[in-house]
Amino acid sequence: MRGGLFVFPATIMNALEQLVESARADFAAAGQPAELENAKARFLGKTGRVTELLKGLAALPPDAKKAQGAEINQAKQRIETLLAERRDQLGQAELERQLHAEALDVTLPGRRRGTGGLHPVSRTMERIEAIFGSMGFDVADGPEIETDWYNFTALNSPENHPARSMQDTFYVDMKDAEGRWLNLRTHTSPMQVRYARAHVARHAAAMARGEPMPEIRVIAPGRTYRVDSDATHSPMFHQCEGLWIGENVSFKDLKAVFSAFCRRFFETDELQLRFRPSFFPFTEPSAEIDIAFADGPLKGSWLEVSGAGQVHPNVVRNFGLDPERYIGFAFGMGPDRLTMLRYGVADLRLFFDGDLRFLSQFR
C-alpha cells in the first residue's frame, strides 16, 4: 500500500489507526488544559503508547524498521496535530469564558452625577446685574459686617435717632480697628457711601485740577440682616442698592431708569409704576416704588419693590462731595421680592430652607 517492497500487516495498520482514534477521543474528553496534558503524556510522553511503539522498532530487521517507523511517525504526527487542534480549541474556549466574565455592557445608561442649578435668587441677582450693566452701571460688593458709621451715621441717621429703629439688627459686641461699633448691615445703603468715597478718592487729583467728576453709577447687590421673620421677611435677605450721582441727575432719571429696569426684568411693557411718597433719612424727597401687572395672577394690585429718593445733602457731603454741585438718586430694592413675583412664590422662607424639592424646580 505504500508502493514499496513491504506490505504492512493489516493488524499493525489497524492498531495505529485505533491509536490515533483513541488519542482523538481522549483529547476531546479533556475539558481542561491540564487534562489535555495528561492525555498527551499517555500517548507522546516518555512511556506513552507511541513512544513505546517506537522503542519496539529496535528489535526489527532494518527494512521492517524503516517501513514501520515511517508509519508510526506518521501516526505520531497526526496525534500531534490533533493535540495542537484541541489545545487551540481549549484556549479559544478559555478566552471566550474570560471575555464573557469581564463583559462590559456598553449599552447600559451611565450613572451620572446630578447637575445642580443656580438658586432662584442668584438668577435674579444675575438678571439685575445684566440689566443695570447694560445701562452703564458698575457692580460693587462690600462687607456684610459693617460699621455703625457706614450703616447709619453716614446715611443721616444720627445715634439715638428714632429712624434707626426701622431697622432693628443683630449687634455684635465688637469694634473695628478704629473703634467703631460693628453690626450686620441692615441694608446695602452703606455701599453708597463706601463706593462714592472710593470713587471720589480715585478722581481726587483730576477734580483738584478743576476737571468734573465722572458720574457715579453703581449697583451693589448682596446679603442683609434684620431681626424679622415671617412669610415675607427673613432674618437674612437680599437687597440691591443703586446710586447715580452727577451734576444734573434728577428724579426723572430715577423714573426712567427704574421703569426700564422693571420692564426688562419682568419682560413686559404693560407694567405700571407708582412713586409713593415715603420717608428715609438718607433721601429727600423719598418714595416707595410700587408696580402693577396688566395681567397674570397679580393683575391690578400694587406691589412694593423698592425704596428710592433723591440723595440727602448730608449724605452727599459724607460722599466727600459738595451737595450744591452734585446731586442724584438712590434706590434699594429687594431681589427676594422680585424673585417671588417673577416665579409666583408665596413664601419667602422657601428660598432659604434649602429644600431640593423646591429648588430643583428652577434648574
| Single-letter amino acid, residue 234 | S
Task: Return the number of the residue (274 or 363) whose C-beta is nearest ligand DAH.
Answer: 274
In this chain, which of 20, 90, 218, 330 binds ligand DAH, going by CB under 6 A? 330
Beta-carbon contacts of residue 138 (< 8 Å; ≥ 6 apart): 195, 217, 218, 219
Task: Return the number of the residue (27 or 132) whose C-beta is nearest ligand DAH.
Answer: 132
For 189-204, give one letter per residue: b (16+ CB within 10 A) or e. Answer: bbbbbbbbbebbeeee
Q: How far is the CB of 224 from ligand DAH (least distance, A)?
A: 7
Q: How far is the CB of 306 from ligand DAH (least distance, A)?
A: 7
189 binds ligand DAH per the rule CB under 6 A: yes
In this chain, which of 137, 244, 280, 351 binds ligand DAH, going by CB under 6 A? 280
Q: How far is the CB of 330 from ligand DAH (least distance, A)?
A: 3
Q: At what angle do helices 10-29 and 62-101 cross, to 10 degrees?
A: 20
Q: How far is the CB of 149 from ligand DAH (least distance, A)?
A: 16
For 78-87, give one letter per residue: b (16+ CB within 10 A) or e. Answer: bbeebbeebb
In this chain, which of 26, 146, 241, 336 binds ligand DAH, going by CB under 6 A? 241
Cα dihedral value 82, 88, 91, 93, nearest 10: -90
Task: Return the number of the residue (76 or 226) whose C-beta is nearest ligand DAH.
Answer: 226
CB of 350 closer than 8 Å to CB of 360: no
Give DSSP secondary structure letters for 151-176. HTGGGT--TT-GGGGGG---EEEEE-
| Among 7-15, 83-91, 303-311, 340-348, the segment contacting ligand DAH (CB under 6 A) | 303-311
| Among 136-144, 205-213, 328-336, 338-346, the segment contacting ligand DAH (CB under 6 A) | 328-336
Q: Which residues pair with 303 in a beta bridge?
A: 291
Grid coordinates given for 211: 476737571
Residue appearing with cell numbers 430715577: 254
Task: Return the number of the residue (120 or 307) whose C-beta is nearest ligand DAH.
Answer: 307
**45 vs 38: CA distance, rounded Å:** 9
258 binds ligand DAH per the rule CB under 6 A: no
237 binds ligand DAH per the rule CB under 6 A: no
222 binds ligand DAH per the rule CB under 6 A: no
Distance of CA 62 to the CA centre of its chain: 90
164 binds ligand DAH per the rule CB under 6 A: no
132 binds ligand DAH per the rule CB under 6 A: no
Task: Return the number of the residue (72 or 155) whose C-beta is nearest ligand DAH.
Answer: 155
Q: At what angle do helices 120-134 and 335-343 cross, to 10 degrees?
A: 110
220 binds ligand DAH per the rule CB under 6 A: no
Task: Return the number of the residue (68 or 306) whose C-beta is nearest ligand DAH.
Answer: 306
Q: How far is the CB of 169 from ligand DAH (least distance, A)?
A: 11
Q: How far is the CB of 327 from ligand DAH (least distance, A)?
A: 13
In this chain, which of 48, 142, 307, 335 binds ligand DAH, going by CB under 6 A? 307
**269 vs 262: CA distance, rounded Å:** 9
**151 vs 188: CA distance, rounded Å:** 8
The residues of the shown chain that bind ligand DAH, judged by CB under 6 A, are 187, 189, 241, 280, 283, 307-309, 330-332
